[in-house]
Chains A and B, each alone.
Chain A
């Protein structure tokens, strides 16, 4: 059974004239121990999906439809208090900026011990031992001394290790990591990604890794969901999505990324920009920028359908099968 199921999730921001749909009919699931990448450009709704799952949507944003199920239980309708128990205990969160995820006024030891004791029925001394071993597992040298230090005494990379330790403190089944390495330098990024991958494998925690870096996705994830204008454009195994993308947006995105392995005189450019929420085009949201758009794309909105090894929301893959079926 899936660990997490997101079904037809809709997130709206109420507005003077109606509501802005930031997420529209988003569905995917995550299996236990799996790493799912969520990729897309700014404004695609990837962070919002993460925020909806951990119950941290900023008001006035609200879930206007669909369901989120964790281990078969609906968590999208839970109250504030009930959600607090799930956050940390069942779902851990890692954010982009490690400095804002930690309280600058408390030592990291105190923050770790507090998190552990909130969720697990153990004493102060035991929680402290656990905190030190967590810091050791996340690769912080001299954990016994470092536990007394404040966040500002750590470097960016070390801070993100502390945040990972904090997210894992109550042994959650799912980690939502929103751009965990974007603020870090490449050599540190490699360390953190490897740590996240290994430590979650060891503990059997699933990860939803939100990032805009396709390279990170390729090296880390099992499956990937590509988002565009609040919808999932394509979802499938990493290898297929990267090397045989079914959706023209995925294909365009892959060709736009300067890659170390190839020399190109010009990069493929996708003209135009992602539409604003108040002006999402009719039909497929990508159709005005799509080089392969045809009549149906501007009229009817595609849903996710099977396209080889991946599932994609694109009429290019629907037309023949529909005709074949009828």
Chain B
């Protein structure tokens, strides 16, 4: 078995009810926001699964569930064969956390501005008792900085002395400090300029090759995803609507939403293209549409789509949740 991460029916709801008094006086019901609603996937060791979708589709919630920042409402995740969410609560959970690390979107918010880089990158090492303060720690931090293309002498500097791209490399060095096997990257390059984004993406690819890292890569940018991923999952309102190999997904997208997303990306080769964009917007996740949640925007929707929620089915090696694709109406 070569699957490092297996998520099974992962779900997370948030209680967004009005305060108790309002509920009683105004007779308003409890409100649940189903941010992630039954997501299953697995990631092979050394490969990259990318999750894409628009804001509010639940992709960041999945990331936070996988690193244990949230506890799932339903379902769970197996990491290297063991139940991760049960383990997170025990003493051995610390060992597990060492093996799973996360890189956040905003390199300005995720580094403590009052710490020098040595302390920032050394913190996970001290916290997990891997290395104590001293020359050994210094040496290890230096190695980590070198591995992300920074100078070991930079460890005496503060985060504000670095550019955005360099800060994101510091975040990567910190995530790598405990020698993790699985990195969850939540929009790691969205805050960066394109030339700097290229630097960071190249470093991430090099590190994956050298250290056999497994990535979950969250992004809204399909072009970036096409560059880094092996497998791609497309999310819409808390559910996976399509999960496929990168090649299959980009060359022959099946789900109407995936097609719409791919078609919506402005491309450099299409100089002066005229397009008819898909109408409508992502609905309110507190009150999602019935049946298939994409049906109000879908050109293929019929009565069945309005009534019945499609399950994620395997069709010719690709997993798609769509009645139209299943019935061959696409």
B223 touching A259, Cβ below 8 Å: yes
Taken together as a complex, chains A and B put the C-alpha atoms of A219 and B78 apart, in Å, by 44
Binds B, one of A120-128, A209-217, A291-299, A304-312: A209-217
* Interface range, B side: 35 or more
Binds B, one of A77-85, A87-95, A166-174, A250-258: A250-258
> Is B89 part of the contact surface with A, judged by Cβ < 8 Å?
no
> Is B16 part of the contact surface with A, judged by Cβ < 8 Å?
no
Residues on the B chain within 8 Å of A256, using CB: 194-195, 197-198
For B199, B221, B266, B270, which residue has the most chain A Cβ atoms within 10 angstroms? B266
Residues on the B chain within 8 Å of A134, using CB: none
CB distance from A229 to the nearest CB of B (A): 13
**Option from B164, B166, B201, B264 in Cβ contact (under 8 Å) with A187:** B264
B266 touching A215, Cβ below 8 Å: yes
**Option from B54, B165, B195, B220 in Cβ contact (under 8 Å) with A252:** B195
Which residues of A in the span 272-292 have a Cβ within 8 Å of any Cβ on B? 273-274
**Option from A185, A214, A252 in Cβ contact (under 8 Å) with B268:** A214
> Is B327 part of the contact surface with A, judged by Cβ < 8 Å?
no
Residues on the B chain within 8 Å of A239, using CB: 271-272
A273 touching B163, Cβ below 8 Å: yes
| A-B interface pairs (CB < 8 A), number | 135
> Is A38 part of the contact surface with B, judged by Cβ < 8 Å?
no
Binary interface profile of A, 174-197, with partner B (CB < 8 Å = 1, else 0)?
Answer: 000000000001111111011000
- Contacts A242-B268, A261-B269 given; does A41 touch B220 at CB 8 Å: no
Binary interface profile of A, 241-269, with partner B (CB < 8 Å = 1, else 0)?
Answer: 01100000000111011111101111111
A215 touching B268, Cβ below 8 Å: yes
> Is A218 part of the contact surface with B, judged by Cβ < 8 Å?
yes
Residues on the B chain within 8 Å of A2, using CB: none
CB distance from B74 to the nearest CB of A (A): 27
Residues on the B chain within 8 Å of A214, using CB: 194, 268
Residues on the B chain within 8 Å of A118, using CB: none
Residues on the B chain within 8 Å of A189, using CB: 264, 266
Taken together as a complex, chains A and B put the C-alpha atoms of A231 and B189 apart, in Å, by 26
Residues on the A chain within 8 Å of B261, using CB: 186-187
> Is B277 part of the contact surface with A, judged by Cβ < 8 Å?
yes
B272 touching A219, Cβ below 8 Å: yes
For B193, B195, B221, B270, which residue has the most chain A Cβ atoms within 10 angstroms? B195
Taken together as a complex, chains A and B put the C-alpha atoms of A54 and B270 apart, in Å, by 31
Which residues of B in the span 255-295 have a Cβ within 8 Å of any Cβ on A? 260-273, 275-279, 281-282
For B55, B198, B276, which residue has the most chain A Cβ atoms within 10 angstroms? B198
- Contacts A190-B266, A193-B266, A269-B195 given; does A257 touch B281 at CB 8 Å: no
Residues on the B chain within 8 Å of A257, using CB: 194, 198, 223, 268
Binary interface profile of B, 171-192, with partner A (CB < 8 Å = 1, else 0)?
Answer: 0000000000000000000000
- Contacts A41-B195, A258-B201, A271-B199 given; does A216 touch B227 at CB 8 Å: no
> Is A64 part of the contact surface with B, judged by Cβ < 8 Å?
no
> Is A42 part of the contact surface with B, judged by Cβ < 8 Å?
yes
> Is A157 part of the contact surface with B, judged by Cβ < 8 Å?
yes
Residues on the A chain within 8 Å of B298, using CB: none
**Option from A186, A238, A253 in Cβ contact (under 8 Å) with B272:** A238
Instruction: Write the chain A residue with the least CB distance to B222.
Output: A260
Taken together as a complex, chains A and B put the C-alpha atoms of A238 and B267 apart, in Å, by 13
CB distance from B126 to the nearest CB of A (A): 31
Instruction: Across the A-B interface, give the 3 residue pairs with the lowest CB-CB distance, nearest first.
Output: A215-B266, A267-B198, A190-B277
A-B contact pairs, 12 of them (CB 8 A): A42-B164, A186-B54, A187-B282, A194-B277, A212-B194, A215-B267, A219-B266, A256-B195, A257-B223, A258-B198, A258-B201, A271-B199
- Chain B: residues with CB nearer than 8 A to chain A? 54-55, 163-166, 193-199, 201-202, 205, 220-224, 226-227, 250, 260-273, 275-279, 281-282
